[in-house]
Structure 1
Amino acid sequence: MIAENADLVENATLTALDQATLSARAEEKRRGHLGMSQIGHEDARTLWLRFRWSLPDDFSAKLLRVFRMGHVVESETAALLRRIPGVEMHTDADGSQFSFHELGGHFSGSMDGCIRGVPEAPSTWHVWECKSAKKAGFRELLKAGSIAKWNETYWVQAQCYMGASGMSRALFTVYNKDSSEIFAERLRIDKTIWPAMIARAERIITADEPPESVWPNREFYKVRFMSERQQAIYWGDQLPEPNCRNCRFASPLLNQEGAVWSCRKHRSSLSLERQQKGCPNHNWLPAFIPGKVLEAHADFVTYKLPDGFSFSNVEDDAAASDSHHVYSSWDLAHLSQWDFKKETFENAMAAMTAPAKGPIRSEEIPF
């Protein structure tokens, strides 16, 4: 009996730990910029969806703790480097000291630190970047022999920090979380990378449509790393949660500082909190809807689906009118969990007590 109770306590504690991990993540501010740590990712479509806050994280509590452990490894590696005679090292806990901002702040990054006194080049300042890896990943790194061959995204990240800071070398360390072995490589700047990444970032930031996927098909192994919901949104089968960044009225401003977004509808700037919440006037960027635009007006857009069904994406209040086939962005996001077909919309209408009486909120529409 005592053992059974102990098991129950243990399970409850682990559940509470997972909840604490997830709640800590929920309290973090959402990233408001396209990161220099991301820009080397091979798939621009993924980067565009992330920048538009339209590809949900869907991280488990376990994976979030892995991320948190990365900060612990970074601190430990920095402490060890500082013990090397002659080393001068600067790091900053919140990243503010070593942050770089381009394109009005919409393309930004924060390097882990800078270091001078590296034994191979004592007088040269280096960008310092630190990563960690499990045994299998570390083995792949040793086999590859260099950061560039092992992980191009990491290599591009270091190139961006060298380009932005004016330093020509970087010290890149990777900590083996299983054996505590450390890999270290001094990288040289490739002066073609930094301007190329600024240009790539600008294309992504200013685009109203997602770039084409680089993945050859839906069965490609890298696609399978995404959750089912991420895959559905990635391929346009399902809509993400509405927010200002996937609304046709909002756009990033590159001619100001601070990663400012503006809303044409309300003629105002948008704070991060306001962007995430959205507003009742939300209209989807047409690229998110798998249909042809028939007409676009100040307050709504009418679409025609491939099966011939037509509907309008309207403001939240207008969706409560007696007009047929008008849906708020939240209605459409809800319906897209099933399919963008005429049958889906007709079944939704039949499930309501009266046609189009307000936004669809029920999770029990019978399909």
Structure 2
Amino acid sequence: MISPEEVVRTAESIAAIQQEDGGVPWPEGHVDAWNHIECLMAMSVAGLAEPVRRGYEWLARHQRADGSWPMRLVDGVPTELGGETNHAAYVAVGVWHHHLVTGDQAPTERHWPMVKAALDYVAGLQTERGEIVWERDAQGRASTYALLTGCSSIHQGLRCGVLLAEHLQDPQPHWELAADRLAHVLAAHPEAFADKSRFSMDWYYPVLGGAVRGRAAFELLEREWATFVVPGLGIRCVSDQPWVTGAETCELVLALDALGDRERATALFADMQHLRHEDGSYWTGWQFANRKHFPHERSGYTAAATVLAADALLRLSPGSGVFRDVAGRSVFDPEVCGCAAGTGLRVPPHAADEGL
């Protein structure tokens, strides 16, 4: 386990790469809204108020009229114009987290219109079955397919948006319905999503995003534990490569913590500390066959995931439960989509907790 002081140092390594315009880039220089928001969350935990303020100003400045953000920006200029739904949804997680950490009502109210526009964009791309397609392209055309990892993150965004709406007394019941329908599809309809099963994120993200909890979540994680977890090093990014990555490992830590499995969460967090650099930043990954860092970079998003995992384990901030506390309060009725009679319905989320 790292100390609170080391957590702050890691957050400071993110502030050190923040661009003059407030964007927090990938190592190759582009900015996307999802990773940018994750970095703001980590800096919020460490109390780095000014970089966080600038980062939310960046988001407000680059949000488009439809509520989305360009997929990639370089030096503030959009280079990929499609609008990813999971990028848009994550702003609700960031703003709710910032409110939990700081208790500051003013920025929460200021950013509420941005959140509303973003989540309405997301909800508008939900299919009749309940999944949410992954993007609207540069010509305004909705994609024809959905991604399991992206939809799992969107589920968390919708739930955080509902919590923000309740706090601000501006109810958005269509977001809650969208989240309930999405949770059901994530738990019961694997056929709704493009096959990305070689990626570890598709394995644990339904738990991380709060769509699957209770007994079903433990069963889901057990199913591929041996495929992805490399004892002593962390977890693989993809199943077919000898490559562990820090961000994915820390996200699995957050998923385990959300289930109350603190023993395995703590052990995995300790395992990935071999990626820590002396300045507090983190190498993106380790290729354990060649015994080299791969790619040869230290990424802000890896540092951010590390800070959020440390916060969850150490309870450093009032926002440490933002991943634990996003499970839905109701289970979508499978009769609504007609799947109860034999389309492979799994144990519904929270069924174990509800004694079903």
Same fold (TM over 0.5): no
Q: Which has the higher contact order (CA 8 A, sep 6+)?
A: 2
Instruction: Name the TM-score, length of structure 1 as normaliser.
Output: 0.26
From the two aligned structures, give the one with the greater helix fraction: 2
CA radius of gyration, larger in: 1
Instruction: Name the TM-score, length of structure 2 as normaliser.
Output: 0.27
From the two aligned structures, give the one with the greater strand fraction: 1
